[in-house]
Chains A and B, each alone.
Chain A
Amino acid sequence: MKDLGQPLVAGRILPGFRLSLGYMLVYLTLLLAVPLAACLAKVSSLTASQFIAAVWTERARSAYLLTFGASFAAAAINVPLGLLLAWILVRYEFPFRRILDSLIDLPFALPTAVAGLVYANLYVKNGWLGQFLVPLGIQAAYSRLAIVLVLTFIGLPFVVRTVQPVLETIDAEIEEAAASLGATRLQTFSRVLLPALGPALTTGFALTFARSLGEYGSVVFVSGNIMFKTEIAPVLIVNQLEEYHYAEATAIALVLLAGSFATLAVINSLERWSRRHGC
């Protein structure tokens, strides 16, 4: 099948080209391009040293560290968790499997504020789970652990949903071939299956990471927002905004944006790479 880059409707035979493209462009300009431009304009009103002064305060630095660190941790935890869930959902039969499968999507559908609210309540001293954990010295509310925990919840669907399709299309014959060549189950898993899932796991990781970077609604409930300890970057941005330090807030926002875009670029190239290497 030769693709000449021109499908059947080359030449705009179908109507509505100008209308649809026009509306699309206007919409995207007003809603995306103009706000982003405003960001850049605001930041460019700062001199280089002012910019550094805004984004590199001690407070900001601990916020970045916390944001990137917690997102990384949550994504890292989600990889084995997601792999396990995808594994049992795809390869095993058990009662309520379908229900479990549907529940995985709940963090995606639940408002983040509700997630934050309930997580804060569950892990305090007399919460349902906190009552067991606090005596053990585990502070899963108003702490860094709390942030990682709620980010893990938020990001749970991403790895699972990225790995599931790949797991489903892995041919049983590959495993049988490995077994016939003498591999143990563990060897088959680590040498054959895991590498095949590598791209999906990495993509899932990156998606969770990107999602966690910008998360606000849930973290703001569970972290306590203590400066230098449990204040994430988005909270810092809001604080600056409320003090009318627009430029500083935007500067920090840009750092966050840069992180998100970089992650998005990584995700895109990962997907392209995995497609080329035939997953």
Chain B
Amino acid sequence: MSIAVKNVIKRFGNFVALDDVNLDVSGGSLLALLGPSGSGKTTLLRIIAGLEGADRGTVHYHDEDVTKRSPRDRNVGFVFQHYALFRHMTVFENVAFGLRVRRAPKDKIESRVRELLQLVRLEGFGGRYPPQLSGGQRQRVALARALAVEPAVLLLDEPFGALDAKVRQQLRQWLRRFHDEIKVTTIFVTHDQEEAFEVADRVVVMNNGRIEQHGTPQEVFDHPANPFVMDFLGNVNVFQGRLQNGKMLLGGIEMAYPDYPHGESRAATAYIRPHELDIDRSPADASSLRAKVLQINPNGSVAKVRLESENSHLELNVEINLDRYAELGLRPGDLVHVAPRRFRVFFPEDYAI
């Protein structure tokens, strides 16, 4: 079922949580709302669920305006950040709750709950109580409970936030596989970029109550719409320079930038990802920067190299793969050349980070 959010504004006192937000979610997709604390992602999720009322704007489920509808009548499955399991009920009763309040026949409840417990790999746990479960188990009960009523939409609020790393990893993969099976429109909130990228079909990057960008993980990473998105999704080197006559000038080097052919010089900021910089012993062309190696940090499958440019004393963070690292035989103190393979330009007056 598709979801459309139109022109939603939400304020808490003087604080603007959502500032004219528009979002379209296609049916059956798995969407991540990604952003730092205070970006409004949870508020947006709760407004979609009906747990919070928008001050202005509308929410549509499949073209139907549900803005005024209580969460009861929206047929959403909501998984709360701290699970909110009913502590006085067994796992079985927790999962059965939605069906019981709809007065479903007993045998139907029985079979559906068993089915769900199997789905979340908690068969045999039916008689346990929430305080007896681990974090990951509680999480799965919360999920099963939300799914029991066959919701049209599944909404998860920081589903893996309170779990430790290993369990988080497992559950992430599990959620991805699970969605492939069930194909319910799913939206989850996270502040972890890695999580969003690993699990979701599409990512919505939010900041300060606004949607900064909306696209597939690849799109958003390779073609960030603005400095915030670029900076939020992974590391980035930021340089101030000037554009003139189709060239970007910074720190003593020049790089071709045909998109700006004008003679008028203009201040611009270049954003370069660590893996978009190459290190070489000899200069490639006019776009190579001489720099000294400060620190080398082999990290998994890449080597993270920190350098300082000779002339302008800019700090550079470069990532090269291990083969290249071995090839170069780098050591701290070495003088090398760093050249950007690609870079992105944003104008400082358009954005204030």
Contacts and interface: CB of A to CB of B under 8 A. Distances in A.
Interface stretch (A3-11, A61-69, A226-234): A3-11
Select the residue from A4, A5, A13 with max chain B CB neighbours within 10 A. Answer: A13
A232 B116 CA distance: 71
Interface residues of A, number: 7
Contacts, number: 18
A10 B46 CA distance: 12
Interface residues of B, number: 9
A6 B13 contact: yes
Contacts of B12: 4-6, 10
Contacts of B351: none
B221 to A, nearest CB: 31
A136 to B, nearest CB: 60
Given A11-B52, A13-B51, A4 B13 contact: yes
Contacts of B71: 13
Contacts of A11: 52-53
A19 to B, nearest CB: 15
A6 B15 CA distance: 11
A10 B13 CA distance: 11
Interface in A1-55: 4-6, 8, 10-11, 13
A10 B70 CA distance: 14
A158 to B, nearest CB: 34
Nearest to B46: A8
Nearest to B72: A15
B13 A5 contact: yes
Contacts of A8: 51
A196 to B, nearest CB: 36
Contacts of B50: 13
A5 B13 CA distance: 8
Interface in B7-23: 12-13, 15
Interface of B: 12-13, 15, 50-53, 70-71
8 nearest interchain CB pairs?
Answer: A11-B53, A4-B12, A6-B12, A4-B13, A13-B51, A4-B15, A11-B52, A5-B13
Interface of A: 4-6, 8, 10-11, 13
